[in-house]
Structure 1
Amino acid sequence: MSSRWFPTLLCWLRPSVAEVLAVLLAAHRVSFLIFNPALPGVAEVLRISTVYSEKMAEQPISITTAVLGRPFQLGMLYDCRSDQLVPGVTLWSKSVLEKDISVKSQRLTEYSLETSNSLTDKSKALNINASLRGSFACGLVEVGGSAKYLNNSKSSKNQARVTLNYFMTTMFKQLTMSHLSRNNVTYEEVFRQGTATHVVTAILYGARALMVFDRDVSKDESTHAIVGELKVSIKKIPHFTIHGKGSVDLSAKEKEEAKNIRCTFHGDFYIRELPVDYLTALDVYKKLPSFLGEDGEHAVPVTVWLYPLSLLDSSAARLMYEISTDLVTQAECVLDSLLEAEMMCDYLLTESLVKSFYNIEEKISKFKTLIERYKLYFQKRLAQILPSVRGGATNATALGDILEVHGTSPFSQHKLEGWLCSLQTEIRVIEALIKGMEDSNVSLLTGRFDRIEPLIFEPNINYIVDFNFNLLSKESKSLNTMENYFISEEISGIRSTDMVNNDEWVHSQVNCDKIRLRRKLFLDFASNNQQNEATKFVVTSRPVEMQESSSILLYCKGELRSSDFEPPSTPDVPKILKTSSQSAEIELSLPPHGSNETIKYLVQFRKHTERQWRSQMTRDTEKCFTLEGLQRSTQYDVRYAAICEVGVGPPSEVISVNTGEPGEQVIADPIEDDPSKDLTWHREQCYPPVVAAIQAMTLPFPDRDDKSHFPIGWDDDCLPNGSKDCLQCQEDSLTTSLEKFTLDTTDPCSLPYHQLVHHLCNLSETGGSQLIGGSASRNADSEISNILAG
């Protein structure tokens, strides 16, 4: 048809037909200057054809793309809209296709080191263009050979990875103009089928090998530092091979470190034994060139060139739009964030605490399953939209809309990171809470098959005290929101504001204070009742109708007695009201916690020189109690504890009680259970504190033959009758005077005591030597511990 008839024809065409015609004209680069823009319809044809001409002009005539292990051959048809080969369909007969093929040698060898685990960087390492990256990201392309490296992601955050990327080429084959001439096409009907957009006109042959080296990183090591060390080791592989050495000269230390390096091989080579570690990788790398054969006969396609069919016949299907690189990169980042979350789940599932707590393990597994499900859902959405956008059937903004909706979904990167961060905090808190419980004979019944019922029906067990994590067994609102996301295909109905997280109990200061208190009450109570075989202490994570994050459950003979049991805590320090030669009256008080459970007290006492406690029990929670059966002129340690139905609570602080002669009253000061530490002399009375100090200091030395110096401060003015040997030490019925010496100082008065005496006294398990006489005094604010430290 002559071009002078176009204006008249276009005047009567419908807009859709005019649009198609404009596209065809643009493809054949027909000049529109012959049209009269004033005629109806012509202006629209001019506008549309100009737009399409500009879009097609931005693209190169042929497309270069990576093979990625796919079976490309010269003359094969390819659909760039879906990045799929069209096998079994061709433009030429076999005889025509095999004639006049141009073959050229093109040998090249190169290598590089890759450390990134992101999909974008791995795609760039394989020279994949943006269009093919988008198709791979949405699952349209199935890769093979060396391209399987794209699917190899780190399994743990505590993993250092360096990849050796080896690439070589052998020859270049291409079709010639005798093939691309329109008159030489054998099967013209292929153009009208619309199944392909391009034909393979050239292939570069070669092979690629990627050796992925991994090393685990311990908690006290830096992943960045280990990656640096790994790079140094991997860099040696090509250099040693190039120099032709049979093996790498490694030191003993390097060989030992090489044992910790694993290797995964992805390649286009046929290898009988794949490398699995650093040393076997050295041998394989050296042999890589030989695997292609002497003349490269085992080389495979690595890069292909695609020619548009529309340039051979205007009726052929064409690629109308290309997805922008920016949108492709955003889609890859979405997949990277999902893979990162999966990797973190795999790492957490290996932790011992997660294995011990089935509720946490189940929560992580469900979270990972939802991520995998969403990943397929996201890829499916992309796979549906990409071909239609490239073919011009769908607006190019559709991909951007999908990415925008993802950003407001429960699976957005910041939502996933927030959930995982909260979960890790929860795990660390639970670790801290159960630390030390097994040492107190507490059983963890938190595994998948752990049950408390066997203990409940155990006839020899009367009581079970259960520290229960209430919230761990409850459904996570976050996971429910993520699960509900898939109920409707209208994904825009759920936004980020719909995400409600009930896993934040570990961040509540009120909850934190309460759970720490319950943990202390439970652990102290368990520690003081380890020998009670009728009472069992356990940790569980069962559902309880309480809003609290934790509670202490009490089972009594198979029945749940209390859902909020509060064991007795440590009571206040007992107060000495008065003493006699054979008794002491002390004041007792209810513990700050568990007072409602307290039914009486256990009062314990022992001579200061003894280790074994003796006990007396009150009738009820009486405030005053008289300790009977004491010996006169004897120092005693006294403490007490609250008793409930289940057992005995932790004891109070120890106080010292001195009995005297009839009628004598002594007020004792509280000291710690280990009286050799931080002893303070509060009174101006001379003799008794010195005795207490010497006896206290002998306790930590159990060996009878052990000897030590005990400096005791004293004042010359306090010596009776001017005697200089006023302090005496008795051992095995022998009395020995304590020797006195003067400090070598110009100003002895600067110390708390004017002078010191010392003696080598034999020590024994019974408390050592007794001081039987003497006199001393102290300055107003001095401490015996100060002298000992000096």
Structure 2
Amino acid sequence: METITVASLGRPFYPGMLYDCRHDSLVPGLTLWDRDQLLKHLEERPHCYSDFDIVTSDSTEDKSHALNVDASLKASFLSGMVEVEGSGKYMKNSKTSKNQARVTLKYEATTKFQELSMDHLGADNLKHLDILQKGVATHVVTAVLYGAQAFFVFDREVSNDEDIKTISGQLEIAVKNLPSISIQGKGSISLEEKDITAVEKFSCKYHGDFLLETNPVTYQDAVQVYLSLPKLLEAKKGNVVPLKVWLLPLTYFDVSATKLVHQISTYLVCEAQKVLENITDLEVRCNDAMKTTIAQQFPEISKNLKIFKDLCFYLKVKFQRTLANKLPSIREGNEDEDELVEVLVGYQSFFNKTNLNKWMDCQEREIDTLKSITIMMENIKIVLSESDLNKEILSAENVRCFVFTSEGSESYLSTLLKHLHDRADLENPKPYNVTDTKWFFSPDVFNEVKQKARKFTDDNKDDVKRLVVALMDENGEKGAKIQHYADGVLTEVN
């Protein structure tokens, strides 16, 4: 009878507990034996081990490896069926920016191993045989490895004039050296002046099973906490939690009991992971774009990015709900894996047909283009809306305005959002043609806009007229134009 090992991910397992592998969920409150019977046949032995490791990647794959999560449990986590706690929350901590260097320090210690003696707790000794027929579980916990894990996630924001690979390398060296740092008097750490300056820019996020008085937020905090972990584990046995559990199928006791019929293949789990990572990557790029000065100066750009971010969120939730429905059904044998293949192909096709990545490429290109041109117009006011522009026009005798033109609202995004809200199939979505819609993909138009920007700036260097830059909806017009207003009336357009 084949047993299964499962990472706890901070969940409160104990020997004799029932578990449902179809949903990767614990079944509390029900047991096959009385508590006294379980304790009588529970064997325990020391299992002392400790180690640390460095994780330089932020991928789901590497996080899963660090937490000893297998493909099946990872699939359940990706679908949102598994609620993680303690050190397991490390699985949910992802970078929010491409301009973020990240290195994680992992500490792990094991203390003891408990297992039930099945010689005395076999089928003939079951006290609650009726539970096997309820269909609420597929396995029972027969052994638990206890200990504690701690993950210190170090982040460093990288500025535009810094190289992210260089900063990542410096961060990795600092984190690798952390376990060997000593504590001096008054709790200070022994670092050279140049190293202190470097680590002051690091932030720290802690995910762990150790109960700390305060969580570390800086590199210096992390050093002190890390060096205290062995003593903390020894002094406070309450820090010991389940790390790994062994599961025995209920069919060991009764062949008619509910069972796990089919495990999800590793290949399909990887494909599901790719879909979610594609969405996450778009969300990260969108976050970076929304933080730019251009996005804050031009509300039309910010609005479209917000719509796109909502689209990514709805797409992720829709996919996770579909997974959460399909996985248990396949594991129970009610559906074939081909059903999941069809779902994955549908989402991959949706990404390809809708050109979501190309849309994001386009927004980044527009932001970079506007930045390169507005830099030429230093100290010229940028109005936030057409209403603000009208106020500027009416508040001065003479106003010259450099107008960037946009192609109107993003009906493409609105259509996709409606598509998802209506729970429509992911078939035949509206495609996005980048080169046909944006002026800055045309070298001729781009060069013309740059020339107008230079002329606008040069002609008005010594002019007392108020200068305004705006982004306006101008359907049919591509690029930019210069408008002159006298006493609130448009008198000239170039």
Cross-structure match for 2:392:
455
Distance in structure 2 (CA, Å) of the matches to 1:295 and 1:558: 75
Distance in structure 1 (CA, Å) of the matches to 2:236 and 2:394: 79
Partner-residue secondary structure (3-state), 1:302: strand
Shift of 1:523: 2.6
Distance in structure 2 (CA, Å) of the matches to 1:351 and 1:360: 10
Distance in structure 1 (CA, Å) of the matches to 2:93 and 2:387: 36
Distance in structure 1 (CA, Å) of the matches to 2:452 and 2:419: 38
Shift of 1:364: 1.4
Shift of 1:559: 3.5
Contact 1:275/1:281 (8 A) holds in 2: yes
Give the residue type in structure 2 aligned to 1:131.
S
1:551 aligns to 2:481 (yes or no): yes
Q: 1:269 aligns with which of 210, 213, 218?
A: 210
Shift of 1:561: 4.5
Shift of 1:326: 1.3
Cross-structure match for 2:97:
156
- Paired residues for 1:685-696 under 5 Å: none
Partner-residue secondary structure (3-state), 1:219: coil
Contact 1:170/1:296 (8 A) holds in 2: no
Q: 1:444 aligns with which of 378, 382, 385?
A: 382
Partner-residue secondary structure (3-state), 1:320: coil
Distance in structure 2 (CA, Å) of the matches to 1:182 and 1:455: 85
1:310 aligns to 2:251 (yes or no): yes
- Paired residues for 1:79-478 under 5 Å: 79-240=20-181, 248-294=189-235, 296-409=237-350, 411=351, 415-439=355-379, 442-445=380-383, 447=384, 451-458=388-395, 461-471=396-406, 474-478=408-412
- Paired residues for 1:360-759 under 5 Å: 360-409=301-350, 411=351, 415-439=355-379, 442-445=380-383, 447=384, 451-458=388-395, 461-471=396-406, 474-495=408-429, 498-501=431-434, 503-527=437-461, 530-531=463-464, 535-561=465-491, 565-566=493-494
Distance in structure 2 (CA, Å) of the matches to 1:551 and 1:449: 15
Partner-residue secondary structure (3-state), 1:542: strand
Distance in structure 1 (CA, Å) of the matches to 2:313 and 2:426: 20
Distance in structure 1 (CA, Å) of the matches to 2:134 and 2:353: 43
Partner-residue secondary structure (3-state), 1:397: helix
Distance in structure 1 (CA, Å) of the matches to 2:279 and 2:243: 29
Distance in structure 1 (CA, Å) of the matches to 2:481 and 2:313: 35
- Deviations 1:65-112 (Å, cap 9, x if unpaired)? 000011111111111001011111111122222211010110010111
Shift of 1:171: 0.3
Distance in structure 2 (CA, Å) of the matches to 1:115 and 1:431: 33
Contact 1:133/1:328 (8 A) holds in 2: yes
* Cα gap change, 1:92 to 1:341, in 2 (>3 Å): same
Please give the TM-score of this superposition, normalised by the length of structure 2.
Answer: 0.93
Distance in structure 1 (CA, Å) of the matches to 2:418 and 2:477: 24
Partner-residue secondary structure (3-state), 2:41: coil
Contact 2:386/2:472 (8 A) holds in 1: no
* Cα gap change, 1:544 to 1:221, in 2 (>3 Å): closer
Partner-residue secondary structure (3-state), 1:65: strand
- Deviations 1:561-596 (Å, cap 9, x if unpaired)? 45xx02xxxxxxxxxxxxxxxxxxxxxxxxxxxxxx
Contact 1:202/1:305 (8 A) holds in 2: yes
Larger RCO: Structure 1 or Structure 2 (Cα < 8 Å, ≥ 6 residues apart)? 2
Contact 1:423/1:503 (8 A) holds in 2: no
Shift of 1:179: 4.9
Shift of 1:525: 3.1
Distance in structure 1 (CA, Å) of the matches to 2:264 and 2:353: 23
Query: Based on CA coordinates, which of the two structures has the bigger radius of gyration?
Result: 1
Shift of 1:199: 0.7
Shift of 1:558: 2.6
Give the residue type in structure 2 aligned to 1:462.
E
Partner-residue secondary structure (3-state), 2:460: helix
Give the residue type in structure 1 aligned to 2:487.
K
Distance in structure 2 (CA, Å) of the matches to 1:312 and 1:437: 79
Distance in structure 1 (CA, Å) of the matches to 2:447 and 2:172: 48
* Cα gap change, 1:423 to 1:545, in 2 (>3 Å): closer
Distance in structure 2 (CA, Å) of the matches to 1:172 and 1:503: 63
Aligned residues: 492
Partner-residue secondary structure (3-state), 2:312: helix
Distance in structure 2 (CA, Å) of the matches to 1:448 and 1:289: 59
Cross-structure match for 1:76:
17
Provide the alpha-carbon RMSD of the alignment. Answer: 2.4
Distance in structure 2 (CA, Å) of the matches to 1:272 and 1:110: 23
For structure 1, list consecutive stretches of 5 or more residues without a partner in the other structure: 1-59, 567-790
Shift of 1:342: 1.4
Distance in structure 2 (CA, Å) of the matches to 1:80 and 1:413: 36
- Deviations 1:27-49 (Å, cap 9, x if unpaired)? xxxxxxxxxxxxxxxxxxxxxxx
Contact 2:404/2:470 (8 A) holds in 1: yes
* Cα gap change, 1:328 to 1:179, in 2 (>3 Å): farther
Distance in structure 2 (CA, Å) of the matches to 1:546 and 1:416: 24
Give the residue type in structure 1 aligned to 2:471.
S
Shift of 1:328: 0.7
Give the residue type in structure 2 aligned to 1:431.
K
Higher helix proportion: 2
Distance in structure 1 (CA, Å) of the matches to 2:121 and 2:445: 77
Distance in structure 1 (CA, Å) of the matches to 2:162 and 2:373: 26
Please give the TM-score of this superposition, normalised by the length of structure 1.
Answer: 0.59
Distance in structure 2 (CA, Å) of the matches to 1:412 and 1:141: 29
Contact 1:111/1:164 (8 A) holds in 2: yes
Partner-residue secondary structure (3-state), 1:379: helix
Partner-residue secondary structure (3-state), 1:393: coil
Give the residue type in structure 2 aligned to 1:66.
A
Distance in structure 1 (CA, Å) of the matches to 2:137 and 2:409: 50
- Deviations 1:722-749 (Å, cap 9, x if unpaired)? xxxxxxxxxxxxxxxxxxxxxxxxxxxx
Give the residue type in structure 2 aligned to 1:416.
L
Give the residue type in structure 2 aligned to 1:544.
E
- Deviations 1:656-686 (Å, cap 9, x if unpaired)? xxxxxxxxxxxxxxxxxxxxxxxxxxxxxxx
Contact 1:476/1:503 (8 A) holds in 2: no
Shift of 1:212: 0.7
For structure 2, list consecutive stretches of 5 or more residues without a partner in the other structure: none
Shift of 1:413: 11
Distance in structure 2 (CA, Å) of the matches to 1:188 and 1:102: 23
* Cα gap change, 1:521 to 1:276, in 2 (>3 Å): same
Distance in structure 2 (CA, Å) of the matches to 1:166 and 1:72: 21
Distance in structure 2 (CA, Å) of the matches to 1:172 and 1:178: 18
* Cα gap change, 1:270 to 1:295, in 2 (>3 Å): closer
Shift of 1:135: 0.3
Distance in structure 2 (CA, Å) of the matches to 1:407 and 1:550: 37
Contact 1:456/1:464 (8 A) holds in 2: yes
Give the residue type in structure 2 aligned to 1:233.
A
- Deviations 1:619-645 (Å, cap 9, x if unpaired)? xxxxxxxxxxxxxxxxxxxxxxxxxxx
Give the residue type in structure 1 aligned to 2:480.
S
Partner-residue secondary structure (3-state), 1:135: helix
Distance in structure 1 (CA, Å) of the matches to 2:422 and 2:290: 30
Distance in structure 2 (CA, Å) of the matches to 1:450 and 1:116: 47
Shift of 1:417: 2.9
* Cα gap change, 1:154 to 1:167, in 2 (>3 Å): same
Shift of 1:406: 1.0
